[in-house]
Structures are given as C-alpha cells and as structure tokens.
Amino acid sequence: MLYHLSEYLVQAFTEAAGPLRLVRYNSFRTIVAMITSFLITILIGRMVINFLYRRKIRDVVRDYSVMSVESKKGTPTMGGVLMILAISLSIALWGNFRSPFLYYLLFAMIWFAAVGGIDDYLKIRNQDSDAGLSRKAKYLAQIGYGVIFGILFLYNGTTPLPHPAKSASCRVKSWKTKECDRPCKTNAECKQNTCGINGAMCLEGRCSPPPVCSGEPDATSCRSDDACVAACGVGAYCPKNWEYPVPGNKVIAFRPSQLYVPFYKYPVMDLSWLYIFVIIFMIVYAANAVNFADGLDGLATGPTIFSFLVFGIYAYFLGNLLIARYLWYPFLPGAGEAAVFCGAVVGALVGFLWFNTYPAEIFMGDTGSITLGGILGTVMVLLKQEFLFFLLGGVFLAELVSVAIQDWLGIQVLGRRIFYRAPIHHTFQHRGLSEPKIVVRFWIVSGMLALLALAALKLR
C-alpha cells in the first residue's frame, strides 16, 4: 500500500514528496518489511499466545495432579498464524502489487496455511497427534499445489519469468551521459535537452527518465521497441529480458523450463513441460523437510531464517539488472518483490523465535512449518535456484533423508533400525545431547551452509 501511495504522492507533489521516492527501492522495502513483520510479531505475540491458549489450541492437561514437571505438554501450538499475520500485514504495507512474484508467493502462503491449519485443527479437536490430515491427504494437497503452480509457472501467458512472448517494461538507453544525467532543481529544467526522452523529471536533484520508462515492472509494458519510442521518446527501447549475456560475448536464451544447477552458469537442459515434475518434487520436498525439522524448540526456525535470507539476497540480485548482468545471471524483472517477501518472512521468523526459542512458549505447528516450507519451495522455483536448496538446506536434507531411510527402508523393508531414532535430531537426543545444544548446532551448520550458498552466487 505504502508503495502505491508514495508513487501517487511523488507524481502529485513532485517536490514535497521527494524523500518518499525511497519507498520505490527494493532494498529499502526489503529491510523495512523485515523490521515491520518482526515488530508486529513481537508486539502481538503475547496476545496471540494467550488467545491460542484460551482457545485450547494445545494439549489439554486432563489431570493436574499427575502432570509431568519436565514436559512442555500444554504449550500452545499453531503459532504459524502469528507469522502468517505478520507477513501479510508487512506485505500489505510494503509490497508492490504490480509484481506477479508477489501473487505467486501469496497464493503459496494461503494454500499451505489452509492445509497446515486444517491439519492442526483436526489434531487439536481430537486431542491426538495422529488424528490430523492423513498422510495421503497431505501429499495430495501438496502435489495439487505443485500441479497448479507448475502449470502457471510454465505456461507462457502466466509465467512471471521472462519469455520471448512475454511483454517487457520499457527502458531508456544510455542516459548516463553528461547532457542527460545532470543536476537539476525543478522538473522544468529537465524538460529541455532530454536526449529525446519524453517527460524527463528531476529526481533526487538529478534529471532522470520518467518512472514509466525505467524498466521497473510497473513501467510501460511493451513487446517491441516501437511501443517504447512512442511512449518515452527516441532513446527508449523494449529490453529482451529473456536473453542474458555470459562470458565470451555470448548470449543465452532463457526459458522458465530450463534446468539450472548451482556453480554452473549455463542451463543444463530444457525440460519443457516435464519440468513440472521437478517443481512438484521440490514443493513436496520443501514442505515436508521443514515439517520434519520442526521437532525441537527453534530447530526449524533457525535454518528457515537462513534459507529465506539467502533466497532473499538471490531475489534482490536477480531482480536488479546491473547485478544480474554483472554476475552473469538471467535478469528476472520483478523478482525484487520476492526479496521483499523473503524479508517479511525472515522478520516474522525472528520475531517468532523470540518466543519459540528453548524453552518454547509457542510451537509453530503444521500451520507454520508446512506454510514456510511451501513458500520456500515456491521461492526457489521462481528464482530457478531449486538445486541450491540441497546445499543451503543441508540440515533439512539430513532430516528428510534420515526419516526416509529409517521408515521406508529400515522399518518397512529391512525390519531393523538404521539410526537410533529419526528424524536425525532425535538420534542426537538419544545419544545424550540436550535439546538447546542440538538446536544451536543445527543453526551453526545451516549458517555455514548459507555462506557456501552465497559463495555460489559468484562461484560459477
């Protein structure tokens, strides 16, 4: 909302509203979205905990005279609603609703929040942790989302990523010359000698092309240079976002269905519609990985924060033409909004950790873990960084693989345990590590992996 308000104000009162132009910047909105959702979580956290507790969204203690003084039974769950609330408010304030990325992420959040919410609700209603949605129903809901999202993502008309048939936003060529890019005080000064650009204005004390020609997602949309020349003047063109340069003066044609792997600049292959299976797999994988990791206080929260931080940085870089070109990445116009979203999620997660760290006053429940996992899966597909998650989310990989080996291979096929317990954090508990120690060690490992994942930005 504030984004669109500031835009309006800047156009209406150019001079007075000058500083509001800050709101146009992705980096600024990412940071404030993070801070906003963090503050919201902290401020309403206590209220939400009390609300959940009173509504009996927890294990109800049946007999107080025999209860354990060691267990955390009775701690309110479904804390995911706290995060979802904070993310929604923060995005409502700072999001640019012209970016398709935002809609995809909001769709993911709503879908998975519903799945996790129903699951938690059933568990609580029956006071039985096995009475939630059946395993089959959960997988079906996740696969269903994967199919819908996959189709929207791969179909030319709806994909948020650049594509030859997709309209782009007009840009202005070579503005950075002395005549064009010069100091100014009023808009009127810029109207003369504007290098052929219509409607140049004075922004931050320098003459600049008007926002409608700036290449942002909300600039005039075009399919050919002609439209841009007509709208902005001689120096404007319609960028071919689906092409990106790589070293050696080569240009690579980008497609949403191409497979990219970390540490390698070029697409591995184009899977076309088969790519939908990759998408479904990653969605189901991410949703369940976070779900399994949510076993100890703060265990899921920490690695998820790191994951969203790294994907947020990727989103910001890929949504910025200059940085994307510099790092030899395909430029994804509008991806900056994914950074804002990731920022809001990180803020909410940190705020949640405030209450969730050992000993927890609130658990996120499936409402939290499945939602976070679903958003995470969506973000990495949108940024075409799915395979980075195997490195970045190494902790999640360990959790999921340990469960798969133990339950499917060990218990069902071989008739033996392969680990003491699964997911793997229970093995550490069995070996005698205390809960806070395991959690912090998992954070340390995922922090290190996050650094590696960031190194993959340049190391290609």
Partner 1 sequence: MEKRRYLLTGGGTGGHVYPAIAVADELRRREPEAGFLYVGVKGKSEEKIVPKRGYEIRFVSSEGWPGARPSVALLRFAWRLSVGILQSILILRRYQPHAIIATGGYVSAPILLAWVLLRRLKLTQARAFVHESNLMPGRLNLLIGKLADRTGVSFEESRRYLPQAEFVGYPVRKEMVGITQAEARERLKIPLDARVVLAFGGSQGARTINRALIDALPRLLQDPKVWVIHGVGRLDSPSYRAEHDTLSRFSALSLSEEQRKRYSMHTYLDPIEEYYAAADLVVGRGGAGTLTEMAVCGLAALIIPKANLPGDHQVRNARALQDDGAADVVYEHAQRTEEGLIDVVSGEDLAVAVERLLQDPERLAKMREAIRPFGDVSALGRIADRVQELAAGRLLSLPERPIPRSDGPVFAEMSGAGLVAHLSRSGLKDIPPREIEYLTYRADGYLSSEAWQIRNNGVKLVGLLQLSEHLDLILYILQDKTPAPRWQRLLGGDLRQVGFIRRNAFQVLRQLNVWNLQVREVLLAGFRDPYFEVRSSAAQSAIFFSEQIGEDPEILAALKGLMVDRDLEVAREGILAMGHFAKDPAIYHAFRALYTHPNWRLREAVVIALTRLVERAVIAPDVITADLDQFLLTSIGFAPRFHLREKMLHLSQTLQKAKHALPPQ
Question: What does 426-451 look like in DSSP terms, one character per residue?
Answer: HHHHHTT--HHHHHHHHHHHHHHHHH
- Residue 12 vs 69, nearer CB to partner 1: 69
Q: How far is the CB of 419 from partner 1 (least distance, A)?
A: 11
Among 417, 444, 451, 455, contact with partner 1 (rule: CB under 8 A)? 417
The one segment of 41-49, 61-69, 174-182, 221-229 that binds partner 1 by CB under 8 A: 61-69
The one segment of 150-158, 165-173, 179-187, 405-413 that binds partner 1 by CB under 8 A: 405-413
Any idea which residue has 């942002």 for tokens?
Answer: 216
Contact flag: residue 359 with partner 1 (CB under 8 A): yes
Q: 58-75 burial, b if ≥16 CB within 10 A, otherwise e?
A: bbeeeeeeeeeeeeeeeb
CB 368 within 8 A of CB 79: yes
Contact flag: residue 361 with partner 1 (CB under 8 A): no
Contact flag: residue 410 with partner 1 (CB under 8 A): yes
State the Cα–Cα distance between residues 32 and 94, nearest whole angstrom: 8
Among 43, 67, 251, 451, contact with partner 1 (rule: CB under 8 A)? 67
- Residue 73 vs 125, nearer CB to partner 1: 73
Among 4, 72, 191, 265, contact with partner 1 (rule: CB under 8 A)? 72
CB 86 within 8 A of CB 396: no
The angle subtended at Cα 152 by Cα 148 and Cα 155, nearest 5°, is 130
State the Cα–Cα distance between residues 372 and 287, nearest whole angstrom: 7
The one segment of 60-68, 209-217, 252-260, 380-388 that binds partner 1 by CB under 8 A: 60-68
Contact flag: residue 62 with partner 1 (CB under 8 A): no
Contact flag: residue 70 with partner 1 (CB under 8 A): yes
The angle subtended at Cα 340 by Cα 338 and Cα 345, nearest 5°, is 90
Contact flag: residue 420 with partner 1 (CB under 8 A): yes
Q: 319-354 burial, b if ≥16 CB within 10 A, otherwise e?
A: bbeeebeeeebbbbbbbbbbbbbbbbbbbbbbbbbe
Q: How far is the CB of 411 from partner 1 (least distance, A)?
A: 8
Contact flag: residue 409 with partner 1 (CB under 8 A): yes
- By CB under 8 A, name the binding residues for partner 1: 64-65, 67-70, 72, 359, 409-418, 420, 431-434
